[in-house]
Amino acid sequence: MSENNFPFPEVQRFRPASLEELAELVRQAVASRTPIYPIGGGTSLRYGGLPTRPGWGLSLQQLRRMVDYPARDLTITVEAGLPVAELQTLLAQQGQWWPVDAPQPDQATVGGVVACNLNGPHRYAWGSVSDYVLGLTAVDGQGMVFAAGSRVVKNAAGYNLCRLLAGSLGALAVIAQVTLRVQPLPETTAFAAAKLEDWDLADRLLRQLMQSQLLPTAIQLAVGPAWTDDPVLGELKPPAKAWLIVGLEGSAKEVAWQVEQLQSAWQAEGLRQVQILREPQSQAMWRRLVEFPVLPGLDSRLANGLPPVPNAHHGVGEERFLVVQAGVLPSQVVALAARWVQMDRRISVLAHAGHGSLVGYFPLDGVDARRWLQESIFPSVSSQHGHVHVLSAPTGVVLSPAELWSQPPCQDRLMQAIKQRFDPDGILNPGRLGFDA
């Protein structure tokens, strides 16, 4: 077991302080056929396949400088090891932000977030992580430095290698520097939340919201024990089944108008208690939504001796869970959330209803992870024509690529050819995307 209790079979850890040092280390690894495991903040090392071959841990934490910030162009270039919270602090000084929902932002790094390309509640309004990567500099599996994209928003020439590396989990190249597109910070944020007693009403309210003139930045449906005694929203008792939580961001005037519209639309539907959360409660709600997918035992703050993220796992206790993320058409979200919670009363779900993504916690007491996936989760998602992958599993649960992703990247011939081109010796993160598993 390596330092910080992370599941990477390291024999040695290196912390290059420059791009040249990083490239040189990769070349040395190629020469000795030693696997390399890039490590950012270490918050998502259990997302993806577990590496099996011992190798070098390559920490990016010393590569954390801001390289260039032409704020008026709404772009910033930073080194990949910069923690997300530090990036957001820098941007906030110019009234800007990177609209990405990385859990544990004081540890998660920009390079790690791009390498994972996972998305949370803000994706509905702002797009995905990869939409914000304008350019990057990286080192491939031969130790060759290459640049992709550019530092400007208008750039359309050549293959879009930024999109290829986003989500590659460090199996194609080590990202050293990233140019991001950023956005103006909203003046204020608020939430409207209501308890729903039946699934038909949930469906109807979501449809109305989509057809209305409102522009919410997040549309969430929260169900299950994690949400019955919520630190921000309060109690959810039968006959109430779910929370509908709508995030609004923008100028104070825009937000006030949208809150008013939502309140009257929901009251017309017979919803008696509509809660409105304004700052600072709305910020607490954002944190709660963003941190929800982080499995209790995997909070890397604990591994680093820091206190756990406040309220992150409220309601899911110390039990062992499998956390999965599914993607379906937005019109199928309510049906899938209802189906999941009917499978077992211990299951909790947070659905990003506007863009058809659901995160589910499946208890591992009594049912093992494989059985959950094969007998219940995969059939429920494929019957809605969706896709699903495992976000995280507790220590000791080892899953094959076909169990981690219903369609594993390593089984795709095009992906195999790309892997071969970027990393012919297979030294970059072997096992993480299923290659060499």
Ligand X SMILES: Cc1cc2nc3c(=O)[nH]c(=O)nc-3n(C[C@H](O)[C@H](O)[C@H](O)COP(=O)(O)OP(=O)(O)OC[C@H]3O[C@@H](n4cnc5c(N)ncnc54)[C@H](O)[C@@H]3O)c2cc1C
**What is the binding site for ligand X (CB under 6 A)?**
37-45, 47-48, 60, 80, 100-103, 107-109, 111-113, 115-116, 118-120, 129, 169-170, 174-175, 293-294, 323, 391-392, 429, 432
Six-digit token string for 84: 């997300």
Beta carbon nearer to ligand X, 107 or 189? 107
Q: How far is the CB of 223 from ligand X (least distance, A)?
A: 18
Q: How far is the CB of 269 from ligand X (least distance, A)?
A: 29
Beta carbon nearer to ligand X, 219 or 274? 219
Q: How far is the CB of 190 from ligand X (least distance, A)?
A: 21
- Angle between helix 333-343 and 199-211 (nearest 10): 150
Beta carbon nearer to ligand X, 217 or 258? 217
Beta carbon nearer to ligand X, 49 or 271? 49
Q: How far is the CB of 370 from ligand X (least distance, A)?
A: 19
Q: How far is the CB of 382 from ligand X (least distance, A)?
A: 22
Rounded Cα gap, residues 28 and 424, in angstroms? 15
Beta carbon nearer to ligand X, 13 or 278? 13
Beta carbon nearer to ligand X, 98 or 378? 98
The answer to whether 211 and 330 are in contact (CB under 8 A) is: no
Beta carbon nearer to ligand X, 118 or 192? 118
Q: How far is the CB of 84 from ligand X (least distance, A)?
A: 8
Pairing label, strands 188-196, 173-181: unpaired
Nearest Cα neighbor of 259 from 202, 353, 194 is 194
The answer to whether 351 and 220 are in contact (CB under 8 A) is: yes
Rounded Cα gap, residues 409 and 263, in angstroms? 44
Q: Residue 87 phi/psi, 5° resolution?
A: -60, -45
DSSP 54-84: -EEEEE-TT---EEE--GGGTEEEEETT-BH
Q: Which residues of 376-415 are buried (b: 16+ CB within 10 A; e: fewer)?
A: bbbebbeebebebbbbbbbeebebebbbbbbebbbeeeeb
Q: Is 405 helix (H, G, I), strand (E, B) or coil?
A: strand
Q: How far is the CB of 204 from ligand X (least distance, A)?
A: 27
Q: Is 345 helix (H, G, I), strand (E, B) or coil?
A: coil
